């Protein structure tokens, strides 16, 4: 696992965009996208590179991590909608090749299974972008999720609903259920890139990177993966015991 500490959110966005840029220009075709606030600086930078530096997503396809269950179709906070407005509408990826779990299906349980099967068939994801919840969730794998879990319908904690209420007109509007890629599904990607910014993420980042491997901190599953990059700003790095070593290792990368 490589841990990169940047000064602020914008610098984190550039560093993560570098990872995607390098991957796409060297032939990565299957991208894993996240929603929420954390990836916005990454998408801004990728859009800029698309417009100004010829970075093309024309050959790519993309898979979302998760989707709310029970929102009206076209709801501005559905992740299918958010990813279009924040990223994919502004680059040259084929909209038909941007897929997410079907949170509107009559049978959402079957839809979750279908999505997992699609990821197996069309994957693996080359580079998967991840945010982290203050409780250590990735995707919407809340504490207690099996480290080997697959895509499924699951229940959000009240904490996550409170955290996400800022996107809605109050907590009552936030759905209770989601379809999320499981921790095992996410771990099938070739390269996992987690971005976290702000002091409110510091504890979760430290637990994920340096804490015990445990379902109580779902993001600790990253410790099992062979290729992980964690990009954090100074505030989110504040609880990392080995922060000085991560800085030293970055300055002294083997060549």
User: What is the length of the chain?
Assistant: 255
For residue 140, the minimal CB distance to ligand F6R (Å) is 6
Q: Annotated catalytic, 137?
A: yes
Q: How far is the CB of 235 from ligand F6R (least distance, A)?
A: 13
**φ/ψ (deg, to 5) at 7:** -70, -40
Burial of 248 (0-12, 13-18, 19+ CB in 10 A): exposed
List the catalytic residue out of 45, 102, 126, 142: 142
In sequence order, what are the residues at sequence separation of 6 or more whose Cβ sits closer than 8 angstroms to the Cβ of residue 1? 209, 222, 223, 225, 228, 229, 230
Q: Which of 86, 137, 163, 191 is catalytic?
A: 137
Q: Going residue by residue from 160 to 199, which x/- string records binding to ligand F6R, judged by CB under 6 A?
A: ----------------------------------------
Contact 194, 138 (CB under 8 A): yes
255: how many CB neighbours lie within 10 A of its CB? 3
252 is catalytic: no
- Pick from 13, 32, 103, 139: which binds ligand F6R (CB under 6 A)? 139
Query: Going by C-beta distance under 8 Å and a sequence separation of 6 or more, which residues neighbour residue 73?
Result: 104
Catalytic residue flag (residue 66): yes
Nearer of residues 37 and 146 to ligand F6R, judged by Cβ: 37
Of 47-55, 106-114, 116-124, 127-135, the window that binds ligand F6R (rule: CB under 6 A) is 127-135
Range 30-89, binding ligand F6R (CB under 6 A): 34-38, 65-66, 79
CB neighbourhood size of 96 (10 A)? 7
In whole angstroms, the minimum distance from the beta carbon of 243 to ligand F6R comes to 21
Which residue among 49, 75, 97, 137 contacts ligand F6R (CB under 6 A)?
Answer: 137
**Alpha helix positions (H), the chain:** 9-25, 40-53, 79-86, 108-122, 158-164, 183-187, 202-210, 243-251
Please report, as ranges, the residues that interact with ligand F6R according to CB under 6 A: 34-38, 65-66, 79, 131-133, 137-140
């Amino acid at each position: 696992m490589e841990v990169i500490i940047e000064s602020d959110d914008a610098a984190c966005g550039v560093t993560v965009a570098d990872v995607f840029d390098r991957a796409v220009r060297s032939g990565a075709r299957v991208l894993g996208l996240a929603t929420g606030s954390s990836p916005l600086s990454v998408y801004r930078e990728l859009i800029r590179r698309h417009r100004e530096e010829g970075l093309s997503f024309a050959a790519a396809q993309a898979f979302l991590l998760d989707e709310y269950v029970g929102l009206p179709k076209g709801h501005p906070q559905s992740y299918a909608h958010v990813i279009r407005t924040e990223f994919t509408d502004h680059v040259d990826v084929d909209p038909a090749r941007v897929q997410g779990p079907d949170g509107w299906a009559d049978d959402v349980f079957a839809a979750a299974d279908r999505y997992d099967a699609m990821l197996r068939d069309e994957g693996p994801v080359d580079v998967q972008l991840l945010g982290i919840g203050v409780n250590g969730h990735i995707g919407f794998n809340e504490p207690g999720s099996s480290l080997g879990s697959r895509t499924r319908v699951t229940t959000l904690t009240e904490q996550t609903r409170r955290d996400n209420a800022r996107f809605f007109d109050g907590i009552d509007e936030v759905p209770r259920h989601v379809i999320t890629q499981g921790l095992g599904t996410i771990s099938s990607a070739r390269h996992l890139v987690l971005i976290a910014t702000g002091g409110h993420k510091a504890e979760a980042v430290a637990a994920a990177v340096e804490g015990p491997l445990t379902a109580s901190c779902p993001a600790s599953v990253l410790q099992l993966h062979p290729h992980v990059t964690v990009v954090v700003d100074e505030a989110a790095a504040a609880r990392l015991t080995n922060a000085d070593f991560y800085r030293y290792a970055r300055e002294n990368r083997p060549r």
